[in-house]
Amino acid sequence: MSKLYLVPSPIGNLADITYRAVKVLEEAALVLAEDTRTSGVLLKHYNINKPITPYHQHNEHKIVQHLLQQMQSGKVMALITDAGTPGISDPGFLLVRECIRGGVPVECLPGATAFVPALVNSGIPMNRFSFEGFPPLKKGRHTLFTQLATDERTLVFYESPHRLVRTLEDMIGYFGAERNCCVSRELTKMFEENKRGTLQEVHDYFKEKGVKGEIVLIVEGVS
């Protein structure tokens, strides 16, 4: 029976995967991976020997119809990304949309997503929040930060380590230096860190210390 499974993968600690996810990966005819080298480590760790093929933002438009045709003919596939749940600031949406249009069942397993533990342990209200993903580098950055400056919801961002300090600087300009925030980096890994404070305090801390690892940035909404 044809099907596409969206399988969350660990965001750092390889033990953070469900029994069901391992079973689905074992039973799928083909594993689609954002980076076959990264996913190969995970599959090897759990002794999963399945064909694996690249599926990422640079090739998804070229191969999506080919994959869809294979699933329509009865093939079961599992999509995983480097870390977390497919489609959350990662490839996945296009394939899901085409499967739905093409009559292929889609099922997303519950599992790891980086922003959830970062939000929960931030100490910032989480009853209402807006997930913004990676902020635009140039075009659209001013518009986005201007709109969000008056948003009462908690704001959730992903950011790369080499852009974090600049982003905090920009947010100080748009949101104010005293807005509370939390930067979570290397979640679930040996050197996990959650730095809480005002935008100014956190900016000064990482500007002096430097930044490494995957970043989730939580910013409180306007009072």
Tell me the mean pLDDT per 10 residues along the chain, length 223: 96 96 98 96 96 96 97 98 95 97 98 96 97 94 97 98 97 98 96 97 97 96 94
If you write DSSP's letter for every residue of 26-70 in order, what string do you get? HH-SEEEES-HHHHHHHHHHTT----EEE--TTTHHHHHHHHHHH
DSSP symbol at 211: -
Instruction: Give the per-residue pLDDT at 203.
Output: 98
The torsion angles phi and psi of 180, rounded to 5 degrees, stand at: -75, 150
Structural domains of the chain ordered from first start: 3-108 (3.40.1010.10), 115-219 (3.30.950.10)
Instruction: Give the per-residue pLDDT at 140.
Output: 95
Q: Which of 51, 87, 48, 83 is closest to 70 using CA atoms?
A: 51
Instruction: Give the per-residue pLDDT at 136.
Output: 95
